[in-house]
Chain A
Amino acid sequence: MARSNSMQLKMLTTVAAWSIGLMIFFPILWTILTSFKTEAQAIASPPLFLNFDWTLENYQVVQERSNYMRFLWNSVFIAGGSTLLGVLIAVPAAWSMAFVPSKRTKDILLWMLSTKMLPAVGVLYPLYLIFIELGVLDTRLGLIVVLMLINLPIIVWMLYTYFKEIPGEILEAARMDGATLKSEIFYVLMPMAVPGIASTILLNVILAWNEAFWTLNLTAAKAAPLTAFIASYSSPEGLFYAKLSAASTMAIAPILILGWFSQKQLVRGLTFGAVK
C-alpha cells in the first residue's frame, strides 16, 4: 500500500516537474521554431507547430543585414570582462568577510544585497550623465564596469557562502606554513573553492550576457552586444516575427549551449554546502 502510494506520488511529481520545465522552456522552443518559418507562417492562425516548410532564409537575411559576429564579440567581451573583474574584486572581499569578519560584516552583506532591490531605472540618468562626462558611453569598458558593479553583490554573496564552508583551520595551517596572504588565497582557498567559484562565474556570465536594460541604454553601435542585436529587430520595420526569432535564437544559442554543458557544475555549485 505504502509502496504503491509512493510510486503514485513519484509519478505525479515527475509529471509536474516535466510540465513546469516544458512551460518554462516553451517560449524558447517557440522562438526557435518560429525562426525556421516564413514571415507568413509565423503569424498564421491557428499557429503552426511542426507542420510548416522549414527554411533557413531568416538566418540568411539576419546575417546579411547585421554583423552578428561583432555583436557576439561584444557580448563575449562584456560578459567575460565584467565577470573576471567582478571575481577579482569579490575573492578578497569574500575572503575577509568569511574569515576575518567584523561586527559590521553581516550589515555590509545585507546592504550590498539591498542595492539589488533598487530599480535600475532610478539611477539611469545619473549614470548616463556620468558616462557622457567620462566619455565611456557606447564603449565596452563602460559596460564592463557597470555590469560588474551590478552583479558584484551576487558574486560576493555567493563566494562568501562557499568560503564559509571551508574550515578556517586549513587557512591557519597555511599561514603557519609560511604562506603570505596572496599564496594563502591562491594556493589553498581558491583551489578548495573551485566548484563554488566556477558556478559563480557561470551564473555571472549568464546574468551579464542576458542583461538588457543597461546594455540597451548605454550603447548605440560600437559596443552593442547581442541584446541590442535582438532589439534592433523588434521595432522600426514593423513586425517581422520570423526574423526577430532568428536573431533571438542566434543571440541565446551560445549561452544556452554553455548552460547545457555546465548544468551539472551549476547545480552542484548552487547547492554547495546544502548537504554535508
Chain B
Amino acid sequence: MGRIVLDQVNKSFDGVEVIPPLDLTIEDGEFTVFVGPSGCGKSTLLRLIAGLEDVTGGQIHIDGKDSTQLAPAKRKLAMVFQSYALYPHMSVRNNIAFPLKMAKLGRDKINSKVTAAAEVLNLTDYLERRPGLLSGGQRQRVAIGRAIVREPKAFLFDEPLSNLDAALRVEMRLEIGELHKRLATTMVYVTHDQVEAMTMADRIVVLKAGNIEQVGSPLELYSKPKNVFVAGFIGSPSMNLLEGPEAVKLGAKTIGIRPEHLSISDQEGVWSGIIGVSEHLGSDTFFHVKCDAFPEPITVRASGEVSLHYGEKVFLTPNHAHLHLFSDDGLRIA
C-alpha cells in the first residue's frame, strides 16, 4: 500500500518560496512522473516526500498517516538517487543488505532476500564486488536492488538514468517499467526528460517554478495540454507554437500544432514557405520550414523518406482537428 497525499505542501529556502502551496494525490500502485525543466522544484518535491527536506508548511500523508514530521527512515519509502549513492566501502552484497541490517533482520532472512534481489537484477555474479568495479548500469541496478529488498510502500526515483548513456537508458527504462508491473508498488519518478515521462508514466505531473501546470495521463497531456507551457514541453520534437495574424484569425493569441499534424507538399497548401534544415531519421523526416505567415520556423514530420530539399518552396496544411488554441494568458481555449 502506498497512497501519498500532499496537502498544501510548500517549501521556502531562506525566505525564498521554491514551491508554493500545492495539493497532489498519488494513488496506490501508480507510476507518477514529475517532469519539468531544471530548477522547477521537482527534485525538491520528491525530497519533501522522502523527508530529506522539511516542509515549510502543509502536510504529507502516506497511507492515511500524517508523515509530515516523520524521519526519512520511518516513512518506509525507498529512494534511488541520480548519483546511485552506493556505499563505496561495501560489497554489492552488503550494499543491498544494508537496509535489512538496519531493520535488524536475521542473517538467513537477509541472505535469502539479497540473493533473490540479485537474481532478479542479474547481479548474482557481482555480489562480492565493490561498486567501484561496476559499470554505470550495474551500479544503478544495485541501487534499485537496495531499494526493492526493503519492500517499501513507494519507490522514489530522482533522475536515476541521467548518468547513463542513451542505449543503457532505454534498457533501464524498460527494466524499471517491468519492475513496476511486477511489484505493483507506487513509484514516483523525477526526470527532466519528457520522453522518459511519456514512456513510463501512468500519470505525469508537469511542474514549472514549483507550480503544478497539469496532471494527467501521457496521452491527455499530449492531446489536451492545458496551457502553452505544457504544450511546448510535452512531445518531441515539440509542438509548433505560432503567433500572428493567422492565430488572430482563429480567435487565439497562440495556435499550437504538432509536427505530425501538418502535411507538406510542393504543390498546394494553406501556408507557403521555404525548407530550411531537414533531419532524416529513416523512419521519419523532420523539415524545418520558414513560412511567410509566421516569424518562427515550423517543424513538420513526414513519414519515411521524402525527397524535398533545402531551399525548395513548399506548402503546409494543418489538420484542423488537431489544432490547439491558446488565449492571451496562455490557457487552452480549444
Contacts and interface: CB of A to CB of B under 8 A. Distances in A.
A146 interface: no
Contact of A178 (B50, B87, B88, B99): B99
Q: Which of B71, B82, B98 has the most CB of A within 10 A?
A: B98
The 4 closest A-B pairs by CB, nearest first: A173-B85, A177-B99, A178-B102, A169-B85
Contact of A167 (B72, B78, B83): B83
B126 interface: no
Q: How many interface residues does chain B have, given as a range?
A: 20 to 34
Nearest to A176: B79
A167 B86 CA distance: 10
B204 to A, nearest CB: 24
Q: How many interface residues does chain A have, given as a range?
A: 10 to 19
A16 B280 CA distance: 64
Nearest to B94: A187
B52 interface: yes
Given A177-B150, A178-B102, A179-B73, A172 B85 contact: yes
Nearest to A179: B102
A176 B72 contact: yes
Nearest to A193: B89
Contacts of B79: 172-173, 176
A22 to B, nearest CB: 40
A99 to B, nearest CB: 11
B89 A175 contact: no
Nearest to B82: A169
Contacts, number: 59
A111 B103 CA distance: 41
B98 A174 contact: yes
A180 interface: yes
Given A173-B146, A176-B50, A191-B89, 14 more contacts: A170-B85, A170-B86, A170-B87, A170-B88, A173-B79, A174-B98, A175-B73, A176-B72, A176-B73, A177-B99, A177-B146, A178-B102, A178-B103, A194-B89
Given A174-B98, A179-B102, A192-B89, A169 B150 contact: no
A202 B52 CA distance: 35
Contacts of B71: 175
Contacts of B73: 175-180
A176 B158 CA distance: 13
B98 A176 contact: no
B329 to A, nearest CB: 39
B81 interface: yes
24 contacts: A167-B83, A169-B81, A169-B85, A170-B86, A170-B88, A172-B72, A172-B79, A172-B85, A173-B79, A173-B81, A175-B52, A175-B72, A175-B73, A176-B52, A176-B77, A177-B98, A177-B102, A177-B146, A178-B99, A178-B103, A179-B73, A180-B102, A191-B89, A192-B88
Contacts of A180: 73, 102
A173 B160 CA distance: 13
A43 interface: no
A183 interface: yes
A188 interface: yes
Interface of B: 50, 52, 71-73, 77-79, 81-83, 85-89, 98-99, 102-103, 146, 150
A183 B81 contact: no
Nearest to A166: B88
Contacts of A188: 87
Nearest to A103: B14
Contacts of B50: 176
A169 B98 contact: no
B26 to A, nearest CB: 17
Contact of B52 (A167, A172, A179): A172
Interface string A191-216: 11010000000000000000000000
Nearest to A170: B85
Contacts of B98: 174, 177, 179, 187
A187 B71 CA distance: 19
Contacts of B72: 172, 175-176
Interface in A115-131: none
A167 B85 contact: yes
A58 B48 CA distance: 71
B184 to A, nearest CB: 21
Contacts of A175: 52, 71-73
Contacts of A173: 79, 81, 85-87, 146
Nearest to A190: B89
A188 B99 CA distance: 12
A175 B81 CA distance: 13
Contacts of A167: 83, 85
B114 to A, nearest CB: 13
B236 to A, nearest CB: 29
A104 to B, nearest CB: 14
A177 B73 CA distance: 6
Q: Which of A170, A174, A178, A192 has the most CB of B within 10 A?
A: A178
Contacts of B88: 170, 192
Contacts of A187: 98
Interface string A147-188: 000000000000000000001011011111111100100011
B91 to A, nearest CB: 12
Interface string A40-69: 000000000000000000000000000000
Contact of A183 (B83, B102, B146): B102
